[in-house]
Amino acid sequence: MKHVTIYLLALVLLLSACGASGKPEANGEIDAVIKRVVDGDTFELDSGEKVRMIGVDTPETVKPNHPVEPYGKEASNYSKELLTGKKVKLKFDVEPYDKYKRLLAYVYMEDGTFVNEKLIRDGYARIMTIPPNVAQADLFLAAEREAREQNRGLWALEGKQTDTPKEKAKPKQSKNNTAADTAPPEGKTIKGNINSKGDKIYHVPGSASYEQTKAEMWFATEEEAQQAGFRAPKR
C-alpha cells in the first residue's frame, strides 16, 4: 500500500510538471527564459517564441519604415538590462496569442517584480489596453497616472518638448489623454478614455472628440465598450 501511495504521488507530481511547461492557454501560465529583448515591450524566449507584453506600449525602435521614437532607445535598453537571460513566469489573459502569433503575457521575475507594471510606473511605457486582455487594466492606468504626475521617464521628456522657448508653444497634452496615439488594433476602432474624474467614456470614429482623444482602451463595438463600463460622451 505504501508503494502504491508513493507511485501515485510521483505520478501527480509528473503530471503537474508537464502541465506547468505545456502549451500556453487562456488564463494559464508557464515558466520561461528570455533569450533576447527585441525592444522595450517585446522579447524572444530561448524556445524561439516571441512575447509581446500585455497592456504596455514603449516608443518604437525597430519598426520597419518607422523612425526611432523619442525615449525609444532608453526604454529598449532598460528592458534589455532588466530581462536578458532572466528566468520569468509568463501569465496569460483571455487571448494567449496575437495575430502575429506572438505570445501575449504578463511577465513576472523570480523576485515577484511585475515587469509590465514596472515599465509603466517607471515611465518607460504608456498603457495600451486591448480587450479582451484587460485583467490588469486598472492597475496599469494607476501606474501611468503616477508616472505622469511625477514626470518620470518619457513624461519628463514630453514636458521638455512642449515647453521650448524658441518655438511657438504647443498645447500640452490633456490629463485625460494618457495613452499613445497609436494606430487602432485590427477590427477595434472605438476609443475608450478615462477622464480625471474617473468617468469612462468611449468615442466612435467621426465623433467630435475622436481625433484628439488618446485611447486607453480599444473596442470593436459600442456594446463591447458599454459592457466594459464605458458610456458615450454627453451631448
Tell me which residues are annotated as active site: 52, 60, 102
To the nearest 10°, report the CA torsion of 15, 16, 17, 19. 90
Cβ atoms 152, 126 nearer than 8 A: no
CA-to-CA distance for 33 and 15, rounded, in angstroms? 21
What does residue 18 show for φ and ψ, rounded to 5 degrees?
-65, -40
Residue 6, classed as helix, strand or coil, is helix
Instruction: Mention every residue, 6+ apart, whose C-beta is less than 8 A from residue 14.
Output: none
Distance CA 180, CA 133 (A): 18
Centroid of chain to Cα 47: 22
Work out whether strand 50-53 and strand 42-45 pair parallel, antiparallel, or are unpaired.
Answer: antiparallel
Torsion on CA atoms 210, 215, 216, 221, rounded to nearest 10: 70
Grid coordinates belonging to 77: 535598453
Long-range contact set of residues 157-160: C-beta below 8 Å, sequence gap at least 24: 157/70, 157/71
